[in-house]
Amino acid sequence: MINPSPSSAIISTFPPTACGLATFAAALANGMQSNNVTDVGIVRCSVDSLPANDDRIIAELHPSRLRSIREASIAINSFDCAFLQHEFGIFGGHDGDDVVRLMSHIRVPIVTTLHTIPTSPTTHQKRTLQHVLKGSSRIVTMTDAARQRLLQFYDVDPLGVVTIPHGATLPPPVAPRPAPVPTVLTWGLLGPGKGIEWVIDALAAVSDVVPPITYLVAGRTHPKVKAREGEKYRESLHERARARGVESRVVFDELYRSVPELVELARSASVVVLPYDNADQVTSGVLVDAVAAGVPVIATDFPHARELLSDGAGIVVPHRDPDAIARALRTVLTHHNVQRSMRARAEELARHHDWTKVAADYLDLVPAIIGSSETAVPTRFVTSSTSRTTGVSSSTPKVRDHASRTVIALTTTPDS
């Protein structure tokens, strides 16, 4: 008999790491627990030196450390199912190909969520992702556009690919408190490609709107960007605001906010703008969070925005086009009936993204693949980390102490 609440291991970055993937994994774990899954374990991909103190963490994956791969796989194999979050940058090796080694040691079904699906991958990126696809019992994409892209550019069985929307934390059922002045909001980690400069330019073009519009840019510089070039991008935005004569109306806020605080911040905005330069973005957590907060959205023309906003929850504008952003801002901020209609449509969409429902959709995949012949094991593949493969014996018996989360491996092969 299949356990109605299967024990679940989630493989991902995880708080306190500050990235969208870590936030996603934490919310998915909480959503599973809201669905009465009492045994959720986290294998944390360690991409920084920040210590984690969440008692659900059962192992840490360190880039290119073979011992940590072995220990993580042993821990994962004590669960009923593994939920792997895939991004090239969070695993060790060339293009994150250590994930293939990890998957080759996992003996339970793997449900893999694809957070990036490149249309023009390098040969090695495509090879790595193909191994991930073959080693997964189910593949999850978060938009129809992502699913279509996957089927178009990669060799994968369509029957094994499902679409589950990106989750969101829904606001409490109380009326939002609008800002005293029209407030345009962009939030998230900053770096080149974010497109903040185009909104600053647009702000200068709507200087006649009364009362004057405030543009709030909430978020720190992305840690990897900061390590590479310091605060160069943020400083360029300050200079651009000065040059456009809107310095007093652009506010940069680096305060770290919890998810509930971000929801409250979004609800207080008049409109959220996602001015991203990337035309290939098939998934955006910030977009989903903004819609779930019931706020009108202006976004550049990337696939997820086209898909989610086409029903009236927002306006899609061309990339790098301050004039189009300015026209959209004027429409939303000076036509209250348009703003009310967008808010109403966003609230209708929000219920499909509630994390409890999204987590339930993930868990619904498990009964069909636990104990079935569909459990995939990837072909062994020499990664860039080492010249030969090693791992845990597929016949390794294991005993799990559920109280202490200790995994006792009775037989393992050497990790050399």
DSSP H or E stretch at residue 263: helix 259-268
Domains and CATH numbers, the chain: 8-167+356-409 (3.40.50.2000), 183-353 (3.40.50.2000)
The residue among 8, 13, 7, 43 whose CA lies nearest residue 25 is: 13
Classify burial at 258, counting beta carbons within 10 Å of its beta carbon; exposed 0-12, middle 13-18, buried 19 or more: exposed
Identify the pLDDT of residue 40.
98
Q: Are 332 and 297 in contact (CB under 8 A)?
A: no
Please, which residues have CB within 8 angstroms of residue 301's CB and are 6 or more apart in sequence?
279, 316, 317, 318, 319
Q: Which pLDDT does position 180 carry in this prediction?
A: 76
**pLDDT number for residue 176:** 63
The residues, any chain, with a CB within 8 Å of residue 171's CB and separated by 6 or more, are 263, 264, 267, 292, 293, 294
> Over the chain (416 residues), what is each successive 10-residue block's mean pLDDT?
76 93 97 97 93 95 91 97 96 96 97 96 98 98 97 97 97 72 95 98 96 96 92 98 98 91 93 96 94 96 96 97 98 95 94 96 95 55 42 38 38 33
Rounded Cα distance, 84 and 112, in Å: 5
pLDDT the model gives residue 410: 31
Global pTM reads 0.86
